[in-house]
Amino acid sequence: MTRPLLEVDRISKTFRSRLGEVSVLDDITMHVDEGEFVSVIGPSGSGKSTLFSILAEQLAPSSGEVRFHGDRDPKAPFSAYMPQKDLLMPWLTVEDNASLGLVLGGMGRRQARTRIAELLPTFRLEGREKAYPFELSGGMRQRVALLRTVVQDRPLLLLDEPFGALDYLTRTELQFWLAELCAEEGLTVVLITHDVPEALFLSDRVYVLSNRPATVRMVLDQPAPRPRGLSYFESEQFTHDERRLLAELTESGGVRIGLSGPAA
């Protein structure tokens, strides 16, 4: 049995502030296999972003360890991340924004542009390579940011609420597109979100975090094959899981919705 691509082994994170120690993450364990799409969902302020920063190797956990293919200290960076803000540089065109990761990683500008040009149709950006970010719609900006992340060819993609700022219809459209993209390219993804349908629709497995300090409250496997279609939203599996998650994640949900059946 090969090691999982990513293992998060009992990590905790405590921040020291003037008011004393604040525990943000408490004993989080999770794993991601190659080609899996895993979501982490939790209430606002639950420490999702802290977990994200640890996975992105920008923050070290206070205890516990993160292993990549069983290696605690991989030599090459193993993840590329897409932050909440698209962080497109206003002075760069679409192609140069998208190739930023490649160029900063040492690739020549021309070669990077050629590589981007190959991927533009997949990201529905053909013909817009010379546009500046301010000339794009919100959905297009997110696709450029995602292209910039994917094209770095790192083994793991980290997405932090990538569609949070978009309107409902654009968000839904991008979710469908992302589902197809990930399945076709076999991408390994960790998605951080607080959008319950999004997490269910896209993922093989959902980790539900509690309020701060965050612990894993629930692990939900989503066996339905990916990519899923619209009909998934009316499947019994989806409605059942959605209700369970909402009950878990909202303060009043458990009381008002009530839980029945074996799931409770």
Interface residue list for other proteins (CB under 8 A): 56-58, 77, 80-81, 83, 85, 87, 89-91, 100-101, 104-106, 132, 134-135, 152
- In angstroms, give the least distance from the CB of 32 to other proteins: 18
Phi, psi torsion values for 49, nearest 5 degrees = -65, -35
Token pair recorded at residue 9: 């082994």
217: left (phi over 0), alpha (psi -120 to 50) or beta: alpha
Residue 77 CB contacts under 8 Å (≥ 6 apart), including other chains: 57, 154
Q: State in angstroms the smallest separation of the CB of 73 from other proteins.
A: 17
How far is the C-alpha of 97 from the C-alpha of 84, rounded, in Å? 16
If the CB atoms of residues 106 and 225 are measured against other proteins, the closer one turns out to be: 106
The kind and range of the H/E element at 26 are: strand 20-32
Long-range contact pairs involving 74-77 (C-beta distance under 8 Å, separation at least 24): 77/154
Contact 62, 14 (CB under 8 A): yes
For the bound state, the minimum distance from the C-beta of residue 13 to other proteins, rounded and expressed in Å, comes to 17
- How far apart are CB 252 and other proteins at their closest, in Å? 16
Of all helices (H) and strands (E), which one includes residue 184? helix 168-185
Nearer residue to other proteins within complex by CB, 105 or 197? 105
Nearest distance from residue 88's CB to other proteins, in Å? Answer: 9
Q: What is the largest CA-CA distance in the chain?
A: 60
Nearer to other proteins, 19 or 76 (CB): 76
- Closer residue to other proteins in complex, CB, 80/174: 80
* Closest to other proteins by CB, 109 or 256: 109
Closest distance of CB 117 from other proteins, Å = 20
Beta bridge partners of 63: 12
Nearer Cβ to other proteins, position 145 or 206?
145
